[in-house]
Structures are given as structure tokens and as C-alpha cells.
Amino acid sequence: MTPEPRPRDESELVEMIHAIDVPAPEHLHERVREMVDEHGSSRVRQAPRTGLRVRFGAAATALAAGLAALVLALGGSGGAQLSLAQASAVTLRPPTMPAPPESGSDDGALAASVEGVRFPYWDTRFGWRSTGARVDQVGGRSFHTVFYSEGQGRRIGYAIVAGRAPSLSGAGSVQWRDGTAFRLGRADGAEVVTWRRDGRLCVVSGRGISGATLLMLASWDERTVAA
């Protein structure tokens, strides 16, 4: 049996927490608020007199901050949430803009990016060439999509969402590749793969394309295209 991956740094830990996809319970929110209030009032009541108390205060602050971060990472902070169908819908629409060309400085990427996260160039290695693009607003988020087509006429849409990645409901099962959590799901008759690159949500889907193919393309991009 393959052992569960262990996080190597903070970013991988957050990915693992996101992969759980369980909303933080209200009592956890309440306890975080209580700890923050208690710590703040204790600092007002008495100034630290020893190095031990200073260290204890710092540890309490770190614990409260850590719990607060956990609540946010679990998606229970009241932030924006999208469904898998909402996130993948734009990748199934027709393009409205010309296709971006291959980057002149990096043969693994196209000359198109979203906040530093670049779209991959798949033509030479996989035979998927960029054929169009579009930009949409979904749930108050900006989705930038590049479309790829291959010789049999099949098409893939690859969207990168601007801003901090929203949480997704119904995003499917998790598969790990090189320390990155990829979610495989299905929406509107199409296989969908979602994951995060440098804090940005990425969505790849296409009708008539297997989840294994989408995962292979998405994970190759994650390993080889530096953001």
C-alpha cells in the first residue's frame, strides 16, 4: 500500500488541508475568537516579566494564528466558494479571442499568463496546440482560458483564475503528483481536473477527453513550467 504523502513545507500542508474539503465547524471559529480575545486581554492586564512569559505569549499568538489559518484553509471562513460546474463551464465555451503564441523565451510556455502563472505550450510534446482564448467573470472572479486542440478535433480548455484561489464544492477525488493535489471530477458531461499553482486555481476540462489524459497534461505542466 502506498503511504500517504507528507507535506514538505507550508504550501504543501495547505494543499493537503484544501484536499480534505470539509468546512470548518462553527465551534472551531468560536474557539479561535476566544483564544484571540483571551490572549489580547492577558497582554493588557500584565506586561511580560520573564523570558519564559515572553516565549509563552509568542507561542499562544502563533497557536491562535495557526488555528485561524486552519479555519481559512478549510474553507469555513465565509469566503467565496464556487461549484465545480461553475468553475469548469468557461472551459467548455467557444473562444472569443485569438490563440496566444509560444513564448519566445521559454519553449515550455505560451506568451500568456495570469498574475505570473503561465499557460503551458503542449504542441511539440503532446500535439495539443493553442487555438483560442477568452476571459469571463464567474462569481466575481476573473477566469482566463486558453483552448487547445489536437488532430482529431478534440478540444481542451485551460483556465487560470485571478486572485486568491476560491474553494470548490463537489471537486471530486484527489490524486497527488510530485507533491501537488489534483482533483478529478466531472461536470456537464466533461472530465475536469482542478489544482493550485502559486495560489491560483487552475481548471482543465474537455468533452471526450479522459481524466487520465487531463491529469497527465496538468501534472506535466506543473513540473516543467516555472511560474
Smallest CA-to-CA distance from 18 within 28, 7, 30 is with: 7
Dump pLDDT digits (tens) for 9-20. 554 555 555 555
pLDDT of residue 12: 52
pLDDT digits (tens, 9 = 90+) for 131-176: 999 999 999 999 999 999 999 999 999 999 999 999 999 889 999 9
pLDDT at residue 209, as a whole number: 97
Helix, strand, coil abundance in the chain, percent, nearest 5: 35, 35, 30
Residue 217 and residue 162 in contact, taking contact as beta carbons nearer than 8 Å: no
Query: Coil, helix or strand for 21?
Result: coil
CA distances from 36 to 24, 25, 64, 128, 171 (A): 17, 17, 6, 52, 33
C-alpha cell at 99: 490563440
Whether the per-residue pLDDT at 73 is higher than 90: the answer is no
Residues 50 and 141: their CA atoms lie apart, in Å, by: 49
Distance CA 192, CA 176 (A): 15
Cell for 141?
472572479
CA 227 vs CA 14, 143, 168, 194: distances in Å: 19, 17, 22, 17
Percent of the chain residues past pLDDT 90, beyond the cut: 57
Q: What is the pLDDT of residues 16-68, one digit of tens each?
A: 555 554 445 544 544 544 554 554 444 434 444 444 344 434 444 454 445 44
DSSP-based three-state secondary structure for 10: helix
Whether pTM > 0.75 for this model: the answer is no
